[in-house]
Structure 1
Amino acid sequence: MPLSPMSAPAKPSLLQVLSSPRVWLLITLGFSSGLPLLLVGGTLALWMKNEGLNIKTITAFGLVAMPYSLKFIWAPLLDRYALPFLGRRRGWMLLSQLGLMGAIAAMSFVDPKQSPMTLAGIATLVAFLSASQDVVSDAWRTDILSEAERGFGVANFVTGYRLGILASSPIALTLSDTIGWQRTYWVMAALMMVGVVATLLAPEPEGRAPRNLRDAVVLPFTDYFKRNGAVAVLVFLMLYKLGEAFAGPAIVNPFFSELGFTNTEIGWISKVPSLIASIAGGLLGGLLMVKLGMRKSLYIFGALQALTNLTYLVLALVGKNYAVLATAISIDNMCGGMATTALGAYMMALCNKRFSATQFALLSALSNLGGRSLAAGAGFFIEWFGWSTYFCFTVALAAPALVLLAFLRQDAALAPTEEPALATAGPAPEGTPATAVAR
């Protein structure tokens, strides 16, 4: 039986926040959101490498993650319509989670070498269902948490998200060395039950859906694009993490394998430090932003996340070395976490709170679009020039975003601080927290 919704008092104590069941449910919902991400990314890339596929095919599979960058297209529909069970939020969450269980299990029955296109199709379906789950879970936590619960609730969601990544990367890679890839994906499919149980226990938020498709679809977009500098800011968002995308797990995992690291070593030596470092980097970035401000943080953290790709150049030069691998991964992910924090805060400043669910889905999706699409051809560059030159190239990819940032006005595309009431709209559409940008 679902937990009943709770009404937070005006000034709740820390104990009252900690005793709220819904903030703890966010750990399990975060786990369910984080689990599928690498099953169609870095973990899948290593499976394909083990099966003997070339680097061009492996990097081209980066396109299966495109639904994460396009989720803003169907996000308004999930906001507008409700399924005939469990309510508007929980119904879509449950449907996407059950679909993920089936689709992840289906991947296990496909031979990557014999049927790469079939595997690509199923992996794309996994990405679509996972992106849909992200949209609805973001809306659920925005709707259900009181103002006092948001900080702790978001922290719990991120913790669960990182645990999901832990399960689908180091744990999955270790399992692949012992029980094989097919059974590993069965286990990953079964772990989606964590999210199913959480959804059944979760309370359904109060609130009405947007009154019509115009409110749900048109207004969020017209509100954003009527602002000065709106298009230039979108270009900046697409470029900002381009260098990091070209050194993502789907590319560096095969690189680690070529150096002679086993799946278990890649899973534990690389992934555990990366999770710890990214969490630490996010917290450090948030603290530094108070002192530096938005613009300086975007500059400094953006430059750092690019320069840290040179640590992989060092690894390419020295070869298989556990200490260098752990150090490179830790530094890269700490600076990447700082940049992610700055970018997430910037995107929040761009969102009108009346339409923040759809606008944040649009901005977060487009911020990943350039990297995910262009990095699919990285294998050709690697085969032509080698890993050392390639990692130098990823550093140079940061320059366009930082140059563009210098020409953007301070107030370019920022959401207005005060908004008049909408005569045509129903209740204000739901928002989405900044942590949605880690996927």
Structure 2
Amino acid sequence: MSQASAGAKPTSYKGWAGIKRAFGTPSALTMLFLGFGSGLPFLLIASMTLSTRLRDVGLDLGSIGLISLASFFYLLKFLWAPLIDRYVFPLTAFLGRRRSWLLAAQLGVAIGLVALAFTRPELGVTSLVTWVLFASFAGATQDSAVDAYRIEIAPAAAQAALAATYTLGYRVGLIVAGAGALYIAEFSGWRSAYLWMSGLMVLPIAATLLSREPVAPETTVIRKIDFVGAFWQPFSSFFSTNGLLLGLSLLLFVGLFKFPDQVIGVMAGPFYLDSGYTKADIATVSKLYGVWTGIAGAFLGGFCVAAFGFRRMLAVAALAVALSNLAFMLMAEHPSEIWAFYAAITADNLSQGFAGTVLVAFMSSLTNRNFTATQYALLVSLANLPGKFIGGVSGYIVEASSYSTFFLLSAMTVVPTLLLLAWLWRRIKDPVVSGESA
């Protein structure tokens, strides 16, 4: 699961044989389970399952949107990611730098989900918000450690394949936390649903314990700098590599890329309920059929990046995500009609899966392996930050206009993204087609 030694013969990742080699590495299997661990808590503490639970007990759309901001740690994980790069977690230090943080974060997620199982949001949201904060901090820490682990166990040319297998695990986690939790909630209540979800964290925990610690690069710098330097050095390194103008432009592009998707995430669950669908309908279409469609999109993205590079695929993905939002207008015009639900979910999840893999491959290419967790956490946070904050007030936007207007406006936000990509076109490079064996 670690990189080969520096003297190993480079392994080609070009063509069909290279694709099979990249997807067949043991690192890919590890990322499958770590991806599951990252995907499992997200809907339960930061997105549709939580918002559906809150709507189910009678909360208004404005309150649901504001409560979703309690998961903001997912957006700010770059603030403590330098600690993940610089130090081992004390209580689990025997596992090594990356795995020590992984295990601690995974245990934190499990504890947070157990606590959320026993909250009663219909009686007051203070306890729920407190545990959402705790669980989102643990989940964000887990994501940073997983991303650093993935980047450090394989060369740049294999990152699209590992991103695809990670996405497969992540999407399976979404199926379980979405469809699985909704089915359980429908028949046994929300407490049972959250308790079952917490128990499933044993799978990524086992993967962490059984996997190997990645080998640090020979030019490791992070160990040689002090505590304060651990926070500023990753950022200064990024701008030293890219320059101020290009660096800022890359960060802005990443921040805009997923905006059309992120901005509608909080309203998805309430929109489905308000359109006349039951929790079982939502589970079946959105979080069972839809997530498998997203997995297909993720692997399509992995294959396309391997075949064509990520530059052209960035343009395709940005357009697909924006246009897929228009499919929700079809649902708004045909409420309670199951065919419209399937059509919208097909467009949305296929484009999301494709775009997610393309963006991961692109962001991985921008990181310095001496500061993997910090730089990648910054990029991921930027990819989610603008849409998340707009999503926090999305309930008020819908109440002041309509769902159809909201979806149309979200699709139009792709325009500045495409303009910026046009400027970046000759300034970004696709990865080389060979590298060390993973």
| Shorter-chain TM-score tier | 0.7 to 0.9
Corresponding residue number in structure 1 for 2:200: 191
Residue 23 of structure 1: CA displacement? 4.5
- Equivalent residues of 2:253, 2:420 under 8 A apart: yes
- Do the aligned residues in 2 keep the contact of 1:80 with 1:216 (CA within 8 Å)? yes
Q: Say yes or no: does 1:241 pair with 2:258.
A: yes
**CA 1:42 to 1:293, structure 2 compared with 1: closer, same or farther past 3 Å?**
same
- Whole-Å separation in 2 of the counterparts to 1:146 and 1:22: 11
Name the count of aligned residue pairs. Answer: 413
The counterpart of 1:283, out of the listed 299, 307, 314, is: 299
**One-letter amino acid matched to 1:261:** Y
CA distance in 1, matches of 2:146, 2:312: 32
> Corresponding residue for 1:268?
284
1:164-179 superposed matches below 5 A: 164-179=173-188
Return the match for 1:25 from 23, 30, 53: 30
Report the alpha carbon displacement of residue 26 of structure 1 after superposing the two structures with TM.
Answer: 3.1
Picking from 65, 69, 77, the partner of 1:71 is: 77
Give the equivalent residue in structure 2 for 1:137: 146
Give 1:280 shift: 2.3
Quick one: which amino acid aligns to residue 404 of structure 2?
S
C-alpha displacement at 1:357, in angstroms? 3.2
Tell me: CA distance 1:5–1:224, structure 2 relative to 1, closer, same or farther (3 Å): closer
Query: Secondary structure of 1:113's match?
Result: helix
Alignment check: 8 A CA contact 1:65 1:372 kept: no
1:2-401 matched pairs, under 5 angstroms:
10=9, 23-40=28-45, 41-82=47-88, 83=90, 84-144=93-153, 153-207=162-216, 210-212=223-225, 213=227, 216-226=230-240, 227=243, 228-248=245-265, 250-288=266-304, 294-401=310-417
> 3-state SS of the aligned residue for 2:120?
coil
- Counterparts of 2:303 and 2:102 in 1: how far apart (Å)? 33
After alignment, is 225-234 or 144-153 more displaced? 144-153
Partner Cα distance (1:404, 1:145) in 2: 30
CA drift of 1:351 comes to: 2.6
TM-score, with structure 1 as normaliser: 0.84
| Residue identity opposite 2:49 in structure 1 | T
The structure-2 alpha-carbon separation of the partners of 1:211 and 1:103, relative to structure 1 and needing over 3 Å to count, comes to: same
The SS at the match of 2:140 is helix
Contact 1:351 1:415 in 2 (8 A): no
Deviation, 1:185, is 0.6
Displacement of 1:43 after TM fit?
0.4
Secondary structure of residue in 1 paired with 2:29: helix
Return the letter of the residue paired with 1:132: T
CA 1:327–1:74: 2 relative to 1, 3 Å: same
Contact 2:108 2:138 in 1 (8 A): yes
Query: What is the CA-CA distance between 1:145 and the residue it aligns to?
Result: 5.1
Is the 8 Å Cα contact of residues 69 and 366 (structure 1) preserved in structure 2? yes
**TM-score (normalizing by structure 2):** 0.84
1:352 touches 1:415 (CA, 8 Å); kept in 2?
no
Between 1:353-362 and 1:54-63, the stretch displaced more is: 353-362
Q: Which runs of 5+ in 1 are unaligned?
A: 418-432, 434-439
* Contact kept in structure 2, 1:352 and 1:416, CA below 8 Å: no
Distance 1:232 1:18 in 2: 32
Contact 1:30–1:157 at 8 Å: present in 2 too?
Answer: yes
Tell me by how many angstroms 1:324 deviates: 1.3
Stretch of structure 1 that moved more, 83-92 or 123-132: 83-92
2 CA distance for matches of 1:95 and 1:309?
37
Which is further off, 354-363 or 88-97? 354-363
8 Å contact 2:23–2:165 — kept in the other structure? no
How far apart in 1 are the matches of 2:182 and 2:421? 39
Distance 2:268 2:149 in 1: 34
2:258 & 2:67 partners in 1: Cα distance? 19
Give the distance between the partners of 1:238 and 1:17, measured in 2 at CA. Answer: 28
Contact 2:99 2:208 in 1 (8 A): yes
Per the TM alignment, residue 76 of structure 1 is displaced from its structure 2 partner at its CA by 1.2
Query: Structure 1 CA distance, aligned partners of 2:23 and 2:305?
Result: 27
- What secondary structure sits across from 2:206 in the alignment? helix
Deviations 1:54-98, CA, capped at 9 Å, x for gaps? 011111222123212211111110121112443222222221111
Letter of the aligned partner of 1:211 in structure 2?
A: K
Q: Counterpart of 1:420?
A: none
1:82-125: per-residue Cα shift (whole Å, max 9, x none)? Answer: 12443222222221111111111111121112221321121121
Identity of aligned residues (%): 33
Find the counterpart in structure 2 of residue 421 from structure 1. Answer: none
Give the gaps of 5 or more residues in structure 2.
12-16, 433-437
Deviation at 1:150? 6.3
CA deviation map 1:277-315 (0-9, x unaligned): 222223334455577765543333322211221111111
> SS state of the match for residue 212, structure 2?
coil
Name whichever of 168-177 and 271-280 sits farther off: 271-280
Rate the CA distance shift 1:396–1:93 in 2: closer, same or farther, 3 A: same
Distance, in Å, in 1 between the alignment partners of 2:284 and 2:163 is 26
Q: 1:383 to 1:48 in 2, by over 3 A?
A: same
Contact 2:313–2:358 under 8 Å retained in 1: yes
Q: Residues 70, 54 of structure 1: CA spacing in aligned structure 2 closer, same or farther, 3 A cutoff?
A: same
